[in-house]
Amino acid sequence: MSSTDRSRRGAVAGPVPAAKALDTYFLEARAKLLDLAAILDRIGRGADASAALADPRLAKVRQALEVLHDQSGGRAERIQQIFSIEYDPSWERPEPPSQIPNPKSQIQTKID
C-alpha cells in the first residue's frame, strides 16, 4: 500500500525526516521571521513607541519568541496557549443562529 493510499484511508504517516522538513519549510520560516522583525521594527519606530512597548500584546509576542528558543518541543502548542484565553467553566453556551431562509427558495417562477 502506497503512502498516498494510507493517507486517503486516514492512516497517520510517521514524522518527516528533519532534513526534508528543513528543505521544505526553510524559506517559509525565513519569510515569517523577516515579517515579524519588520513588524517589531515598525512598532519600535512608531510615535509613542514606549507606550506600545508596555502593551500586554507585545509582551505575549516576546514570551512566544522565548518559547521558540526552547528546544524541548511542543512549541506550537505552548505558543497557542500564550495567545489563548483561559477556559472559564462559567461561560454561557452560545445559542445557535436563527435559521435564515434561502432567498432562492422564495423565488417563484411564473409559467404562462
Tens digit of pLDDT for each residue in 5-38?
Answer: 555 556 678 899 999 999 999 999 999 999 999 9
Range with the poorest average pLDDT among 35-39, 55-59, 106-110:
106-110
Confidence of residue 93 (pLDDT cuts 50, 70, 90): confident
Range with the poorest average pLDDT among 7-11, 25-29, 66-70, 76-80:
7-11
- Report how far Cα 62 is from the mean position of its chain's Cα atoms: 17
CA-to-CA separations, 84 to 21, 63, 67, 74, 90, in angstroms, rounded: 27, 13, 15, 16, 17
Q: Would you say residue 94 has pLDDT above 90?
A: no
Q: What percent of the chain has pLDDT above 90?
A: 58
> Hey, which bits of the chain come out as E strands?
none
Q: pTM score, two decimals?
A: 0.64
Task: Give dist(CA 26, CA 16) in Å, integer.
Answer: 14
In the chain the first and final C-alpha atoms are separated, in Å, by 60
